[in-house]
């Protein structure tokens, strides 16, 4: 059962109705028990540098993501979004606090596809399987399946530079899926794409997540994207990054980027973000 389903706010979202401030509210908002929590951050802080040049990137961030939940994290520049994902991915250690993914496999996707340019699309996907230790005989079929999932069946033998930006990002998605990740961390994955492609990829991502019951932690600075995709949207403050608000998004499928509910949610998020940005203006 999805935790966020219990928390659904009425369709007409009143600004601030489900917003919580402070860090305690973040974890209090989701009543997740241990076994259904995919990602749990407890009082996580991250400090870069030392002495005078110290930079507090994340300050006491606590949040949980339930299994199968799609959580968007939104914030202006300097909110430590990428730091947060690196910590969850285990590429970096928090200065204090705890990151717990309960041993789940974590896949990471970036704004850039970060494909290996010397390998074909299929080989890029296959390498992830190889790194996971999938036997050679199974790799080929699995690769074909994954390319089919991102609807790139005919393009396996193309090299990244021969594909369009949207196609590369889909190969990157197939590669992330090849890691057999339960949790997909996405760092503005569609940020560099044009609006039309992005819109289609939103639909695709939604389909794939449903098919594979993925848990997603999706970082973006596009409020509409957050409102379009998220079951829940977490707003981070900037310098340092703190959880300042959290919104449950009424789940009424199918959602579209231009539907009124999305626009309404986006407006709320924009206001909250501007308020936060204004704090740094004076």
Partner 1 sequence: MAVDQALHGLDNLELRPGIKTGSGFARRARKLWTAAWPKLLAIALVLLVWEIVHLTGWKKLVLAGPGTVLSDLWQMAQHGQLWAAIGVTMKRALTGYMLALIIGSVVGVLVARIPPLRAAIGSIITGLQTMPSIAWYPFAIILFSEGTAAILFVMVMGAAPSIANGLIAGVDYTPPLLLRAGRTMGLRGIALYRYLILPASLPAFVAGLKQGWAFAWRSLMAGELLVIILGQPSIGVLLSNYQDQSDMVGAISIMIVILVIGIVVDAIFSKTDRMVRRRRGLLTDAQPA
Q: How far is CA 138 from CA 133, 134, 135, 148, 175, in A?
A: 10, 7, 6, 16, 15
The helix/strand/coil state of 1 is coil
Half-sphere CA count of 249, side-chain side, radius 13 A: 32
Least CB distance from residue 156 to partner 1, whole Å?
Answer: 13
Q: Which stretch binds partner 1 (CB under 8 A): 32-40, 95-103, 162-170, 256-264?
A: 162-170
Report the C-alpha dihedral over residues 169, 171, 175, 177, rounded to 10 degrees: 80
Among 121, 146, 147, 163, which residue sits at the site for partner 1 (rule: CB under 8 A)? 163
The answer to whether residues 236 and 243 touch, using CB atoms and an 8 Å cutoff, is yes
Q: According to the binding rule CB under 8 A, does residue 132 interact with partner 1?
A: yes
Q: How many residues contact partner 1, by CB under 8 A? A: 38
Nearest CA to 64 out of 7, 26, 14 is that of 26
Asked if 77 interacts with partner 1 (CB under 8 A), we say: no
Among 107, 230, 240, 241, binds partner 1 (CB under 8 A): 107
Give the CA count within 13 Å in the CB-facing half-sphere of 35. 1
Task: Using CB under 8 A, pick the residue from 32, 79, 108, 183 that binds partner 1.
Answer: 108
41: phi then psi, degrees, rounded to nearest 5: -110, 125
What is the x/- site pattern for partner 1, positions 170-209, by CB under 8 A? -----x---x----------------xx--x--xx--x--
Q: Which stretch binds partner 1 (CB under 8 A): 23-31, 62-70, 163-171, 256-264?
A: 163-171
Closer residue to partner 1 in complex, CB, 88/233: 88
Can you tell me which of 118, 135, 137, 141 binds partner 1, judged by CB under 8 A? 118
Q: Which of 138, 107, 116 is nearest to 205 (CA)?
A: 107
Applying the rule CB under 8 A, the residues between 140 and 159 that interact with partner 1 are: 151-152, 155, 159
Residues 258-277 vs partner 1: string with x where CB under 8 A?
A: --------------------
Helices (H), the chain: 24-29, 81-89, 121-132, 136-149, 165-178, 195-212, 223-229, 260-279
Choose which of 47, 130, 134, 144 interacts with partner 1 (CB under 8 A): 130
Q: How far apart, in whole angstroms, are the C-alpha atoms of residue 143 and residue 198?
A: 24
Nearer to partner 1, 19 or 167 (CB): 167
Cα–Cα nearest to 200, from 173, 232, 160: 173
Cα–Cα distance measured from residue 81 to residue 76, given in angstroms and rounded to the nearest whole number: 9
Binding to partner 1 by residue 211, rule CB under 8 A?
A: no
**What residues line the site for partner 1 (CB under 8 A)?**
89, 91, 106-108, 110, 112, 114-119, 127-128, 130-132, 151-152, 155, 159-167, 175, 179, 196-197, 200, 203-204, 207
């Amino acid at each position: 059962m999805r935790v966020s389903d219990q928390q659904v706010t009425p369709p007409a979202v009143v600004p601030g109705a489900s917003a919580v401030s402070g860090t305690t509210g973040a974890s209090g908002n989701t009543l997740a028990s241990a076994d259904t929590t995919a990602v749990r951050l407890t009082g996580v802080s991250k400090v870069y540098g030392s002495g005078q040049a110290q930079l507090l990137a994340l300050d006491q961030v606590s949040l949980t993501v339930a299994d199968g939940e799609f959580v968007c994290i939104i914030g202006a520049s300097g909110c430590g979004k990428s730091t947060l994902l690196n910590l969850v991915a285990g590429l970096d250690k928090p200065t204090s606090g705890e990151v717990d993914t309960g041993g789940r496999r974590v896949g990471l996707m970036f704004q850039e596809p970060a494909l290996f340019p010397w390998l074909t699309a299929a080989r890029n996907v296959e390498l992830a399987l190889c790194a996971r230790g999938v036997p050679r005989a199974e790799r080929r079929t699995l690769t074909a399946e994954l390319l089919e999932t991102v609807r790139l069946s005919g393009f396996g033998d193309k090299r990244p530079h021969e594909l369009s930006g949207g196609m590369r990002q889909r190969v990157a998605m197939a590669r992330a899926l090849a890691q057999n990740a339960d949790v997909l961390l996405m760092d503005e994955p569609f940020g560099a794409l044009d609006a039309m492609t992005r819109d289609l990829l939103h639909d695709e991502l939604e389909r794939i997540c449903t098919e594979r019951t993925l848990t997603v932690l999706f970082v973006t600075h596009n409020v509409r994207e957050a409102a379009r995709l998220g079951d829940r949207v977490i707003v981070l403050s900037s310098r340092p990054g703190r959880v300042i608000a959290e919104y449950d998004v009424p789940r009424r499928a199918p959602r579209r980027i231009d539907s009124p509910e999305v626009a309404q949610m986006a407006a709320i998020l924009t206001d909250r973000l501007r308020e936060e940005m204004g704090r740094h203006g004076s």
